[in-house]
């Protein structure tokens, strides 16, 4: 793999997450779920808000946010079909999961009150560019973008 090629890096990540999808939620006795719960606790989503969850994976963050914002809504985006399949299989109202790249959001400006990114920031090659587009494009100015980085730390600890 050419580390300078972002397309190759994305293919590699998608392959990786497609493979780990079936065991993702149970990894380390549910560590991802605990990190997701902590992120949502810190974010404090409010009833009626509309949220975007970037790199939603199996929906751990998105489903917790949906329970808080109801009757608002959460859209989770991800590139791994297998992670998305698991997210969609979890029963929850007001959630929708779409196959979409964080780098190519297609939402209208100011669509979301809140953007979350649970343990996904390490996957994104152009974080600065993504943040710019998210804050100027899909999320209203002054509204919140919140992310956790535990995945990066936990992976670093195991390699
Ligand atoms: C470590 S998982 C985190 C999943 C979930 N947010 C959580 O908190 O458990 C990272 C997710 O980001 C997704 N991802 C990686 N690069 C992406 C990109 N460029 N656009 C959208 N999703 C991406 C992966 O497919 C994977 O499901």
Q: What is the CATH number of the domain that holds 101?
A: 3.40.50.150
Which residue range is the domain that position 149 belongs to?
3-156
Residue 135: pLDDT band (50, 70, 90) is: low
Q: Quote the DSSP letter at residue 119.
A: S
* Number of domains comprising the chain: 1
CA 106–ligand 1 middle distance (angstroms):
17
Q: Which residues sit with their C-beta closer than 6 Å to ligand 1?
A: 10, 13-14, 17, 32, 36, 55-57, 60-61, 77-80, 83, 101-103, 118-120, 123-124, 151
CA 49–ligand 1 middle distance (angstroms):
22
Does residue 158 register a pLDDT over 70? no
Q: What is the mean pLDDT of the chain?
A: 83
Mean pLDDT value across residues 6-32:
92
Q: Quote the DSSP letter at residue 26.
A: T
**pTM for this one?**
0.84
d(CA 24, CA 32): 8
CA 25–ligand 1 middle distance (angstroms):
13
Contact present, 43 and 118 (Cβ < 8 Å): no
Residue 3: pLDDT band (50, 70, 90) is: very low
CA 78–ligand 1 middle distance (angstroms):
6
């Amino acid at each position: 793999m050419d580390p300078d090629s972002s397309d190759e890096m994305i293919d590699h990540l998608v392959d990786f997450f497609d493979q780990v999808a079936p065991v993702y939620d149970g990894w380390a006795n549910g560590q991802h779920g605990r990190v997701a719960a902590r992120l949502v606790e810190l974010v404090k989503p409010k009833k009626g808000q509309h949220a975007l969850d970037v790199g939603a994976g199996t929906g751990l963050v998105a489903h917790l946010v949906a329970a808080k914002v109801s009757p608002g809504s959460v859209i989770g985006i991800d590139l791994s079909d297998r992670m998305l399949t698991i997210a969609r299989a979890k029963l929850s109202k007001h959630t929708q999961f779409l196959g979409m790249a964080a780098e190519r959001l297609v939402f209208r400006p100011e669509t979301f009150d809140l953007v979350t990114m649970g343990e996904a920031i390490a996957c994104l090659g152009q974080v600065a560019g993504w943040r710019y587009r998210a804050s100027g494009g899909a999320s209203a100015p002054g509204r919140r973008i919140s992310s956790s980085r535990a995945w990066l730390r936990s992976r670093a600890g195991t390699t």
